[in-house]
Amino acid sequence: EVVMTQSPATLSVSPGEGATLSCRASQSVSSYLAWYQQRPGQAPRLLIYGASTRATGIPARFSGSGSGTDFSLTINSLQPEDFAVYYCQQYSKWPKTFGQGTKVEIK
């Protein structure tokens, strides 16, 4: 199975600052990579798919990049509602696997 490794585990950021989250796959997943946001007590929400395409209704401050094995999610000017856990997921190969998550917390 494809192992997804996210870093860092926790990112402390001040509101208004930017943040970059990383996700690495144990083998190439091409661009079959999605990012999800999960706020406390809520279901995950799709942010990015195809490594770089924003889902419907997702603000432009969220952007994704990468292909193959290395991916990143960048959040510009963090808003209060952006403090959450972010998961990457590959859907290139079965089983579809998630990273362990990066928690973005208020500094």
**Binding region for other proteins (CB under 8 A):** 32, 34, 36, 38, 42-46, 49, 55, 87, 89, 91, 94-101
State the Cα–Cα distance between residues 88 and 93, nearest whole angstrom.
14
- Report helix, strand or coil for 81: helix
Shortest distance, position 16 Cβ to other proteins, whole Å: 28
Burial tier of 104 (Cβ tally within 10 Å: 0-12, 13-18, 19+): buried
Shortest distance, position 90 Cβ to other proteins, whole Å: 9
Q: Phi first, then psi: what are they for 25, rounded to 5°? A: -100, 145
Q: What is the H or E stretch that residue 88 is in?
A: strand 85-90
Nearer to other proteins, 61 or 96 (CB): 96
Supply the DSSP symbol for 42: S
Shortest distance, position 77 Cβ to other proteins, whole Å: 26
Nearer to other proteins, 80 or 95 (CB): 95
Shortest distance, position 87 Cβ to other proteins, whole Å: 6
Nearer to other proteins, 14 or 42 (CB): 42
